[in-house]
Amino acid sequence: MDLVTLILDAAARETMLFAAAGLLIGGIDDLIVDLCFIVRRLSQRQADRLSLDALPHSAAPAPFAIFVAAWDEAAVIGGMLTAAVRRFDYPDYRIYVGTYPNDPATIAAARAVAALDPRVRVIVGERDGPTTKADCLNTVWHALMRDEAAGRITRAVVLHDAEDVVHPAELTVFDALIDDHALVQLPVLPLVRRGSLISGHYADEFAYAHSVQQPVRAMLGAAMPLAGTGCAIATGMLRAIAAERGDAPFDASSLTEDYELGLHVADRGGTSRFARVRDSRDGSLVAVRAYFPDTLPAATRQKARWMTGIALAGWDRTGWGRPRAIADHWMRMRDRRALVSVLVLAVAYAAVLLWPVAAGLRWLRSMPAADDRLANWLLLTTSLLLGWRLLIRVTCTGRAYGWREACWSLPRFFVGNLVSLVAAPRALHRYLGLLRGEALVWEKTAHVFPDYALGPPTSPT
């Protein structure tokens, strides 16, 4: 029995030390980002914080092309397009909806809106779907180039998903900023389904990423990956990239073409802007809103795709960027630490389970606990870092969604851990499949469009 106790005690100690060391490194990494943000925030005058009224307004608004890639989106595409044309408070834009010939329901739903509004164009590709989202976007790009050849020139391409709720002032913000930047990205604010911890954990993660991490990234001059929605890319930049890639600016061989496109633009010397702008009329944040997955299978599929494309394939496809760009290297390292973080997390939960069992056996056998100063120091330090992490999480969620959701962000922290733990093996399996040459397929999530967005063109705060 003493041997079993010693083995369990050693296992508990070693797993705890491994997990604590990993959590310490990750916690310090996050803490540095948070401190950079706090310094930035304290040094930023209230007058410097962007509002819609403070942006420059051009006498002749630039024309925009809005790309929406749609596969099996009959349930939401009609509502999204109807809401978009009602809500956009901007005079010159055209929405291009990319569809597939073997998806007649989505085509019919999109064409029903296009029949009522000439600003909506439905583009049916030549190949059956699903291919990849990037391949669908390239089909839409070719349609835009045909329109430009006929005389309609656009200033920038805006990317949206088929389930997005757009903000009325979105294109006004892009018009004010795109002349000085190759990319402009707006925040993404996931809509929270009441009673769904899985849906809500996306709100917590994006609240932090798009109020702290992305502004710090921009402040340090690191390359800014795109979120794949709510972003504008200068048409001239896309033409230059298309010339390099056989008239296909979006990389159809990538699972995360939006992430890679942002890095590629930076490698070409293009500047980017992450724009947190308040609408002076109602105080709302100019952002994209949408429902994210609210079930464990759907969330793990989506997280696995992100892990595969960014944390695994990203090493092969995008490298480390410009030489001596320390901030850029640091941010790419943070992007790619997901699987290592999951490993540390899994060992940490194992340590949490082993520790009371080992302590109970020691008590039953009247065996004294070892005086381990290193373990005690690591436990104290990582506990303080975890407390800081949760405080920042609660604060970011509270600022974006109110304090009710801020309180829910604490249990959702553990739900997010569960999603990551389940998604990691799936991501690794998919990456190994890519290395074996398996074809990429658009792994879709079923979407829902909110009813409120079909009402008057106002945005929630």
> Is residue 458 scored above 50 in pLDDT?
no
366: alpha, beta or left, given left = phi > 0 and alpha = psi -120 to 50?
left
| Residue 439 pLDDT level (bands cut at 50, 70, 90) | confident
> Coil, strand, or helix at residue 101?
coil
Phi, psi of 290 (to 5 degrees): -165, 155
Phi/psi for 439 (5° steps) reads -70, 145
The CA-CA-CA angle for residues 366, 371, 376, to 5°, reads 120
CB distance 165 to 84 below 8 Å: no
Give the pLDDT of residue 104.
Answer: 97
- What is the percent of the chain with per-residue pLDDT over 90, rounded to a whole number? 59
Q: How far apart are CA 92 and CA 107, in angstroms?
A: 24
> Angle 147-148-153 (CA atoms, 0-180°, nearest 5)?
120
pLDDT tens per residue, range 152-175: 889 999 999 999 999 999 999 999
Stronger pLDDT, 363 or 284, i.e. the higher one:
284
Q: Which of 96, 71, 120, 112 is nearest to 444 (CA)?
A: 71
Between 42 and 213, residue with greater pLDDT: 213
Torsion angle (degrees, nearest 10) of CA 191, 298, 389, 226: -70
Which residues, in sequence order, are bridge partners of residue 234?
156
Q: Report d(CA 347, CA 390) in Å as an integer.
A: 20
Q: What's the confidence (pLDDT) of residue 457?
A: 56
Neighbours of 49 (CB within 10 A): 12
Q: What is the pLDDT, as a whole number, of residue 368?
A: 63
144 touches 65 (CB < 8 A): yes
- Answer yes or no: are the C-beta atoms of 14 and 372 closer than 8 Å: no
Nearest to 204, CA basis, from 427, 430, 406: 406
| Rounded Cα gap, residues 344 and 20, in angstroms | 8
Over 50: is that where the pLDDT of 50 sits? yes
Model pTM?
0.90
Predicted confidence (pLDDT) per residue in 256-276, tens digit: 888 999 988 988 889 999 999
Name the band, by pLDDT with cuts 50, 70 and 90, for residue 366. Answer: low
What residue segments make up the domains of the chain, in order of their start?
A: 1-46+295-444, 50-186+230-293
pLDDT recorded at residue 49: 67
Cis, bond preceding 425 (omega within 30 deg of 0): no
| 110, 122 contact by CB (below 8 A) | yes
User: Residue 190: in which H helix or E strand, if any?
Assistant: strand 188-191
Q: What is the pLDDT of residues 37-49, one digit of tens each?
A: 999 888 876 545 6
In the chain, count of helices (H) and strands (E)? Answer: 15, 9
Stronger pLDDT, 351 or 399, i.e. the higher one = 399
Between the alpha carbon of residue 274 and those of residues 49, 61, 238, the distances in Å are: 13, 21, 19
Give the angle subtended at the CA of 440 by the CAs of 435 and 442, to the nearest 5°: 145
Confidence of residue 5 (pLDDT cuts 50, 70, 90): low
Residue 331 burial by Cβ neighbours in a 10 Å radius (0-12, 13-18, 19+): buried
Task: Give the separation between CA 204 and CA 190, rounded to whole angstroms.
Answer: 9
CA dihedral 232, 233, 234, 237 (to 10 degrees): 180
Fold exhibited by the domain 50-186+230-293: Spore Coat Polysaccharide Biosynthesis Protein SpsA; Chain A (3.90.550)
Residue (of 225, 193, 187, 229) closest to 415 by Cα position? 193
Residue 69 has phi, psi (to 5 degrees) of -90, 130
pLDDT computed for residue 88 by the predictor? 95
Higher pLDDT residue, 6 or 190? 190
- 67-118 pLDDT, tens digit per residue, is 999 999 999 999 999 999 999 999 999 999 999 999 999 999 999 999 999 9
Average per-residue pLDDT for the chain: 89
Segment 412-437 shows an average pLDDT of: 90
Q: Are 401 and 461 in contact (CB under 8 A)?
A: no
Strands 156-160 and 64-69: parallel
pLDDT score recorded for residue 314: 76
Instruction: Please state, in angstroms and rounded to a whole number, the distance separating the CA atoms of residues 68 and 82.
Output: 13
Does residue 460 surpass a pLDDT of 50?
no
